[in-house]
Chain A
Amino acid sequence: MNERLALTSLATPAPAHLADDILVEVGLADRMAPLETAIGTLWVAWNGCGVAAVDLAEDGPAAAVRHTATCGRRTLVADVLPAALARPIRRRLAGDRSARIPLDLRGHTDFELAVWAKALEIPFGEVRPYGWIAAEIGRPKAVRAVGTALGHNPVPLVVPCHRVVRTDGTIGQYSLGGPGNKRAILVAEGLDPDGLESAARRGERLIGSDTTRIVCWPTCRHARRVSGAHRVPFRSLRDAQTRGYRACRVCRPSAVELAA
């Protein structure tokens, strides 16, 4: 049958990228592409489920190897991050918390997800201690585990774990390029890490206003609005409460255990 021979020639192969596109779409493989930002080149890994990782790296193939070692999926280096992801990521990095970024956080524990979700609530240009997250997620004694979960955050900057500082007020560790980078990112958000640390050393863990009698974390936008003459520093929430102050309902300072 001649017809059959001729029509079989129409069974041409699919474009080479199609199989990979399908595996990425269902979340069995990832792509990784660069995004230029103020702190350097971010390599963003994603698949059909969402953004799976963010890594600071000069070298895409090296970032891809690291990502595969972490998640176990094949990682294909791409030239360009799709605009549908690049746009909301840029907005999020600029402080817009309403930017919707789908995340692929499969394989992580409910505890880690709760910690990261809570970190997402911290506004641009503000910080909270590890103990605050522990208290907010109903695990007040799990401060160390909160630190570990933040260290495992696969999407730093997108989930702003850099806005979580040590309970003693020092800036603390950072997974994306170390503590120096954490300070630089906080400075870029308008904070003064050295000033925060020296205030904490002086025992100024919370700031109250003697007009409103409300006490806040020092970087809460309500605390920063209090003028010098009305600023009252406190060592702890209990300290403030015995003086008749109540906790700010926005930043919710918690009775975290403070190391000396």
Chain B
Amino acid sequence: MDDTALANLLADDLDAAFEVLVRAHVDRCHAIALRVLGSHHDAEEVAQDALVRAYRALGAYPPERIRELRLRPWLATIVVNLCRNRRRRTIPPSTPLAALVEAGAEPRAAAAGSPDATAQRHDARHRLGALLAALPERYRVPVVLRHVDDLSYTELALVLGRPEGTLKAQVHRGLAMLRAAAQAEGLEELIA
């Protein structure tokens, strides 16, 4: 079901349609929060809080307003705002990226014998996630929305309230920083 049809269902009967919204969007809400915050525990709390707030907001909106909602960027906005509040309350958990790059972190030696491809992929994803979480917030949030969540730049502009040109530059710069960090980490197989 596309989001326009879903918005119409929500406008007609919120309680009946809300489960469809949850099942369609919970993974991406969680993924945005996880990659912005870098913590599984925080990501679960933020994703749950975001969808609970979405339910309460929808309950207060008149049906015409629900029909006009662009659900993907609207939910991303709630998640990003909750992540921002949480960051403000807590000390950033990750190593500053610049320090990591300068330290020239030792690339991991390839495992001896026949490597378990799944474990290796999982490990690479874990390290890539850590690098992303260490990116300065100004770059990290647009990179996550554009490349993890696959929002368009028009949608990014709605979520972050910045001009598209600025966002393109921030994503470009963020990817360049990630690439440099990945090379330092020996992750060229994922980011070349």
Give the B-binding residues of A (Cβ under 8 A): 2-4, 6-15, 18-19, 21-23, 25-26, 28-29, 48
- Interchain CA distance A10-B125 in the complex, whole Å: 7
Chain A, Cβ-Cβ closest to B192: A2
Q: Is the CB of B18 within 8 A of A28?
A: yes
| A-chain residues with CB within 8 Å of residue B84 when the two chains form the complex | none
Query: Given A13-B27, A23-B22, are A7 and B52 neighbors across the interface (CB < 8 Å)?
Result: no
Q: Does B143 contact A (CB under 8 A)?
A: yes
Please encode chain B, from 30 to 67, with 1 for each CB lying within 8 Å of some chain A CB and 0 for all others.
11001100000000100110011001100000000000
Given contacts A3-B178, A7-B147, A11-B149, contact A19 B23 (CB under 8 A): yes
Asked whether, in the complex, the Cβ of A14 is within 8 Å of the Cβ of B47, the reply is yes
Q: CA separation between A79 and B51, bound complex, in Å?
A: 25
Distance to closest chain B CB from A72 (angstroms): 10
Inter-chain CA distance A191–B58, complex, in Å, is 50
Residues of B near any A CB (own CB < 8 A): 15, 18-19, 22-23, 26-31, 34-35, 44, 47-48, 51-52, 55-56, 121, 125, 128-129, 132, 143, 147-150, 175, 178-179, 190-192
Which residue from chain B places its CB closest to the CB of A14 in the assembled complex?
B30
A19 engages B52 (CB within 8 Å): no
Cβ A12 vs Cβ B55 within 8 A:
no
Complex-state Cα separation, A13 to B143, whole angstroms: 18
8 further contact pairs, Cβ within 8 A, besides A6-B191, A10-B129: A2-B192, A8-B147, A9-B128, A10-B34, A14-B47, A18-B26, A22-B47, A22-B48
Q: Determine whether the beta carbon of A6 is less than 8 Å from that of B44.
A: no
Bound-state CA distance A66–B15 (Å) is 21
Asked whether, in the complex, the Cβ of A10 is within 8 Å of the Cβ of B35, the reply is: yes
Q: Are B143 and A14 in contact (CB under 8 A)?
A: no
Inter-subunit contact A26/B52 (CB<8 Å)? yes
Q: Indicate if the CB atoms of A18 and B128 lie closer than 8 Å.
A: no
* A2-B15 contact, Cβ under 8 Å, with A10-B128, A11-B27, A21-B48: no
Q: With A and B bound together, what is the CA distance between A14 and B26 in angstroms?
A: 7
Q: Which of the residues B18, B28, B147 comes within 8 Å of A4, measured between beta carbons?
A: B147
Give bound CA distance, A15 to B48, whole Å.
11
> Which residues of the other chain, B, contact A3 by a CB distance below 8 angstroms?
147, 175, 178-179, 191
Q: Identify the closest chain B residue to A29 (Cβ).
A: B19
Contact of B125 with A14 in the complex, beta carbons under 8 Å = no
| The residue from A2, A7, A22 contacting B26, defined by CB atoms under 8 A apart | A22
Question: Which residues of chain A are within 8 angstroms of B149 by Cβ–Cβ distance?
Answer: 11
B55 proximity list for chain A (CB < 8 A):
22, 26
Of chain B, the residue at the smallest CB distance from A12 is B31
Does A18 contact B147, Cβ atoms closer than 8 Å?
no
Using known A-B contacts A3-B191, A7-B147, A10-B128, determine if residue A19 contacts B179 with beta carbons closer than 8 Å: no
Q: How far is the CA of A22 from the CA of B29 in the complex (A)?
A: 12
Q: Quick check: A10 and B132 within 8 Å, CB to CB? A: yes
Question: What is the CA–CA distance of A23 and B143 in the complex, to the nearest angstrom?
Answer: 30
A13 surroundings in chain B (CB, below 8 A): 27, 30
Q: How far is the CB of A2 from chain B (nearest CB, A)?
A: 5
A13 to chain B minimum Cβ distance, whole angstroms, is: 5
Asked if A11 and B192 sit within 8 Å, CB to CB, the answer is no
Which residue of the partner chain, among A10, A15, A22, contacts B52 with CB atoms under 8 Å?
A: A22
Answer whether A7 and B27 are a contact pair too, CB < 8 Å, given A14-B47, A15-B44.
Answer: no
| Of A7, A15, A29, the contact of B143 (CB 8 Å cutoff) | A7
Return chain A residues, CB-CB under 8 Å to B121. Answer: 9
Contact (Cβ within 8 A) B52 A25: yes
Contact of B148 among A7, A14, A29 (CB under 8 A): A7
Chain B residues with CB under 8 A of A12: 31, 34, 125
